[in-house]
Amino acid sequence: MNFSGYDPGHFYDELIDTQGKPREGASLLIDRISGLPDGDLRRRQEAAELVLLNMGITFNVYGDDAGAEKIMPFDIIPRVVEAADWTQIESGLKQRIQALNLFIDDIYHDQRIVKEGIVPAFVVESASGYRKECAGLQPPSGIWCHITGTDLVRDESGQFHVLEDNLRCPSGVSYMLENRQVMKRTFPQVFGASHVRAIDDYPDRLLQSLRYLAPEHIPSPTVVVLTPGIYNSAYFEHAFLAQQMGVELVEGRDLVVVDNLVMMRTTQGLQRVDVVYRRIDDDFLDPGVFREDSALGVPGLMNAYRAGNVALANAPGTGVADDKVVYAYVPKMIEFYLQEEMILPNVQTYLCWNDDERSYVLEHLDELVVKAANESGGYGMMIGPHASAEERADFAERIKADPRNYIAQPTLALSRSPVIVDDHFEGRHVDLRPFILNGEQIYVVPGGLTRVAMRKGSLVVNSSQGGGSKDTWVMASTAQEGDHA
Amino acid sequence: MLSRAADAIYWMNRYVERAENIARFIQVNLHLSLDQPMQMRSEQWAPLVKVTGDYDRFLERYGEATQESVIDFLTFDREYPNSIISCLDRARENARSVRQIISSEMWQQINTFFLMVSGVHKGIALEVPDDFFARIQMVCHTFTGIMSATMSHGEAWHFGRIGAMLERADKTSRILDVKYFILLPQVQDVGTPYDNIQWSALLKSASAFEMYRKKYGRIEPRDVAAFLILDPEFPRSIHYCLLEVERSLHLITGTPANTFVNEAERRVGRLRSGLVYTDIGEIIDQGLHQFLDGLQAQLNAVNDGVAQSFFPVNPTISND
């Protein structure tokens, strides 16, 4: 199998340039792949899929009770990110997380950014992730968002943009790590010869960041991962991270709060917990404070948190920044808090609560992507150019009924990367979700989850909508070659 | 460790052990029925369901006990919670809930195993049933071996061990009970080749045939019962299983031998020491069936003692 008939089309292709030549970082990879005997690639692809199935690297799809468990489609041709591109991504993400963290801290304290008229009060207060109960909280070291996954896309010129922030409970990092393991088995020679930056120390760094949250007087803090349980779509990841960090994976019913201390029920009685990496939403954390009907949470957890007896990562209330209207203000936050210019741009965003912008959106529904501000996972969105007249009319009504909850963006010509389709390669649209840890310093893992819209022409990469993934190879620059070897 | 996790590991091992026992019972019975006169072959299968204690449930759903219906019920019936497929499903769900505690190799083994059995076409599996059931047993042993070789023999491992050993003791007592009951009344057969085949089959059902031969040579019903109940060295005898349960419990709590700090230790200690000073003649005089009935009740009491002492949280999977 080779790339002779491969057509990058009108899109930016991650591996092949407009002349049909491999991009610099991908040239060794393309060279080796093209040299493989017929059928070899297909065999490697099948072997990789079997590994994933046997490892049980699956996710659950809601509302699909027959065979609720699926393997995430995986394509063995990696996506390559050049060292220079990565430098911009890394510094852009650090800047963004710093600003977002200052924003969250601000809105739960003095609300300077609102008072100075930069972000309207109603935008903050109506964001579904805003928790008025969090006002005045003082998380350890002033850090709210410890673990973030930010979705990036690349336009036809090759420029990266931030599409979405995920500060509540970003998932996908386990797929990033497992994809890499599978690739090392699948292409050991190519991998060995390429200068790909290592990502395997992520669990270790995550554990360090979590331990950093514990009060200083505790020399060896007890960290746990809090999961909603085995039926959650990301359960695999919760178990994987707990296992890789060597900490307990707990459910709400394993924890109890006694005298404002969080304890877990063990075979030897109650044991104190110092840091909770929680993978359940704010609403379910503590039925005494948020949703009363939550059976997943721990009554009294928020009081223990307020008293400083336990640390939560991410802090409750960070979800305010996941709102897609709030997202549109990030460039202004960066100016306001950091007096800097944004390094990694946002996608141009029209806010439907604004009368002028709404009129524009309603007149251009056939060109724009419309998204509900509070939804994720590819739900609640309409891709104008692909939508029927009825769907557009439906969204027009929804926008008029609840303008605050809708934004629109130009339909991006997302970049593509080659995937194996039967006996040849075809380009498919991809995005990139790098992961950022915020502890003693801000750290961006040199890699990420590349999600692929496996259906031809589709722009939706979410796993719940038939998306797959690829390994992401961030290439080392000459200066970094040392740390690779 | 977390109580819920201890509970899950305990049950994961019980279910794997259960699946292995059922596969062995079926395989031995398949062999045995080949040696039977044609007209008697189908009588051979009802006892296998009686071993499980779920005979009524079986009759309700399948009516008659034939080779096909019994194998179907005990192997592939997803509605029946103790079929091989259901056991593997529950073993895997329990394993999934403690993936962070068990080794990756264990998880992969149990996951692959489940996928193998659930993906198999019934007709194809039963073309060579012997292979199929032999493979299930071998995969269960592989799981136990992987667990032993890849997981630290700490608290979690011992909870698994307790689950497996209690299940094994229970199964040995049940197969002995059912078979002994059928075999003994037929006085006219005693000492005939047919009788020998039946008793050998019972020993094989507990993987005990070869080890029994080494120890006793000739097959005598009394010695067979003694071997399966009282032998302290044979790994499927009830006595051996209880020794292991007791050892694991004491390693978990750190309590010295012959003392106890919880109900589990007290109950297993009393049961096990009773066996040390029991003679097979005494058991036969009392009535083997009555003895085994009482023993099963006490095994259940040990199980409850373990749950009460260590697992106060509701489990994720509803285990029985």
pLDDT at position A59, please?
65
pLDDT at position A228, please?
92
Q: Give the pLDDT confidence of A305-335 residue by residue, as tens digits.
A: 999 999 999 999 999 999 999 999 999 999 9
For A420, phi then psi, to 5°, come to -80, 125
Q: Could A229 and B316 be called an inter-chain contact, meaning their C-beta atoms sit closer than 8 Å?
A: yes
pLDDT beyond 60 at A211: yes
What is the nearest CA distance from A264 to chain B, expressed in angstroms? 7
pLDDT beyond 90 at A109: yes
pLDDT at position A123, please?
94
- Residues 6+ positions from B59 with CB-CB distance below 8 Å: B65
Q: Could B100 and A251 be called an inter-chain contact, meaning their C-beta atoms sit closer than 8 Å?
A: no
Residue of B3, B93, B100 lying closest to A239 (CB–CB): B100
Q: Could B96 and A56 be called an inter-chain contact, meaning their C-beta atoms sit closer than 8 Å?
A: yes
Q: Could B115 and A54 be called an inter-chain contact, meaning their C-beta atoms sit closer than 8 Å?
A: yes
Using an 8 Å CB-CB cutoff, list chain A residues near B262.
none
Q: Could A265 and B108 be called an inter-chain contact, meaning their C-beta atoms sit closer than 8 Å?
A: no
- The answer, for B249 touching chain A at a CB cutoff of 8 Å, is no
C-alpha span between A266 and A269 (Å, rounded) = 5
Q: Give the pLDDT confidence of B226-245 residue by residue, as tens digits.
A: 999 999 999 999 999 999 99
pLDDT at position A72, please?
81
pLDDT beyond 80 at B310: yes
pLDDT beyond 60 at A395: yes
Instruction: Collapse the DSSP code of A281 into the 3-class scheme (helix H, G, I; strand E, B; otherwise coil) and give the result.
Output: coil
Q: Could B316 and A251 be called an inter-chain contact, meaning their C-beta atoms sit closer than 8 Å?
A: yes
| pLDDT classification of A86: cutoffs 50, 70, 90 | very high
pLDDT at position A125, please?
93
Q: What is the DSSP string of B208-221?
A: -HHHHHHHH-S--H
Q: Could A56 and B108 be called an inter-chain contact, meaning their C-beta atoms sit closer than 8 Å?
A: yes
pLDDT beyond 70 at B187: no
C-alpha span between A279 and A235 (Å, rounded) = 9
**In the A/B pair of chains, how many CB contacts fall below 8 A?**
69
pLDDT at position A112, please?
97
Q: Whole-angstrom distance between the N-terminal and C-terminal Cα of chain B?
A: 22
Q: Could B111 and A56 be called an inter-chain contact, meaning their C-beta atoms sit closer than 8 Å?
A: yes
pLDDT beyond 60 at A65: no
Neighbouring C-beta atoms of residue A112, cutoff 10 Å: 14
pLDDT at position B48, please?
87
| pLDDT classification of A378: cutoffs 50, 70, 90 | low
Section A154-181 average pLDDT: 92
pLDDT beyond 90 at B192: no
What is the nearest CA distance from B101 to chain A, expressed in angstroms? 7
Using an 8 Å CB-CB cutoff, list chain B residues near A267.
1-3, 6, 155, 159, 252, 310-311
- The answer, for B9 touching chain A at a CB cutoff of 8 Å, is no
Q: State the burial class of residue A133 (Cβ atoms within 10 Å of its Cβ: 0-12, 13-18, 19+).
A: middle
What's A190's DSSP letter? H
Residue of A231, A267, A268, A277 for testing the chain B interface, max B β-carbons within 10 Å: A267
Q: Could A240 and B107 be called an inter-chain contact, meaning their C-beta atoms sit closer than 8 Å?
A: no
pLDDT beyond 50 at A66: no
- The answer, for B118 touching chain A at a CB cutoff of 8 Å, is no
pLDDT at position A8, please?
87
- The answer, for B152 touching chain A at a CB cutoff of 8 Å, is no
- What is chain B's length? 320
Query: For residue A351, what are its two tokens?
Result: 């806010």
pLDDT beyond 80 at B191: no
Using an 8 Å CB-CB cutoff, list chain B residues near A235.
96
C-alpha span between A430 and A418 (Å, rounded) = 10
Residue of B3, B115, B252 lying closest to A53 (CB–CB): B115
pLDDT beyond 80 at B35: no
pLDDT, greater one: A228 or A52: A228
* Dihedral sign, Cα of residue B227, residue B231, residue B234, residue B237: positive
In A284-348, the DSSP E strands lie at 311-313
C-alpha span between A164 and A175 (Å, rounded) = 19
| pLDDT classification of B269: cutoffs 50, 70, 90 | very high
CB B306 within 8 A of CB B10: yes
Q: Could B6 and A267 be called an inter-chain contact, meaning their C-beta atoms sit closer than 8 Å?
A: yes
pLDDT at position B320, please?
64
C-alpha span between B195 and B211 (Å, rounded) = 19
Using an 8 Å CB-CB cutoff, list chain B residues near A53.
115
Section A21-37 average pLDDT: 90
C-alpha span between A374 and A333 (Å, rounded) = 20
pLDDT at position B302, please?
96
Q: Could B6 and A242 be called an inter-chain contact, meaning their C-beta atoms sit closer than 8 Å?
A: no
Q: What is the DSSP string of chain B?
A: -BHHHHHHHHHHHHHHHHHHHHHHHHHHHHHHHHTS-GGGGGGGTHHHHHHHT-HHHHHHHH-S--HHHHHIIIII-TTSTTSHHHHHHHHHHHHHHTTTTS-HHHHHHHHHHHHHHHHS-HHHHTTSHHHHHHHHHHHHHHHHHHHHHHS-SSHHHHHHHHHHHHHHHHHHHHHHHHHHHHHTT-GGGTTSHHHHHHHHHHHHHTT-HHHHHHHH-S--HHHHHHHHHH-SSSTTSHHHHHHHHHHHHHHHH-PPTT--SSHHHHHHHHHHHHHHT--HHHHHHH-HHHHHHHHHHHHHHHHHHHHHHH--SPPSS---
Chain mean pLDDT for chain B: 89
pLDDT at position A368, please?
94
Q: What is the pTM of this model?
A: 0.85
Residue of B3, B313, B316 lying closest to A230 (CB–CB): B316
pLDDT at position A317, please?
93
C-alpha span between B302 and B244 (Å, rounded) = 13
- Peptide bond before B94: cis, by omega within 30 degrees of 0? no
| pLDDT classification of A482: cutoffs 50, 70, 90 | very low
Instruction: Give the lowest-confidence range in A86-95, A211-220, A239-248.
Output: A211-220
pLDDT at position A154, please?
95
pLDDT at position B180, please?
74
pLDDT beyond 60 at A67: no
pLDDT beyond 70 at A46: yes
Q: Give the pLDDT confidence of A434-462 residue by residue, as tens digits.
A: 999 999 899 999 999 999 999 888 888 87
Q: State the burial class of residue A155 (Cβ atoms within 10 Å of its Cβ: 0-12, 13-18, 19+).
A: middle
What is the nearest CA distance from B109 to chain A, expressed in angstroms? 8
The three-state DSSP-derived secondary structure of A390-442 is HHHHHHHHHHHHCHHHEEEEECCCCCEEEEEECCEEEEEEEEEECEEEECCCE
Q: Give the pLDDT confidence of A126-147 residue by residue, as tens digits.
A: 998 999 989 999 998 899 999 9
Section B62-83 average pLDDT: 92
Torsional class of B254: left (φ above 0), alpha (ψ -120 to 50), beta (otherwise): left
pLDDT, greater one: A356 or B187: A356
pLDDT beyond 60 at A422: yes
List residues of chain A with CB under 8 Å from any CB of chain B. Answer: 53-56, 225, 229-230, 235-236, 239-240, 242-243, 247-251, 253-254, 264-267
- The answer, for B318 touching chain A at a CB cutoff of 8 Å, is no
Of all residues in chain A, the percent with pLDDT exceeding 70 is 95
Q: Which of A186, A94, A56 is nearest to A470 (CA)?
A: A186
What is the nearest CA distance from A242 to chain B, expressed in angstroms? 6
Chain mean pLDDT for chain A: 90
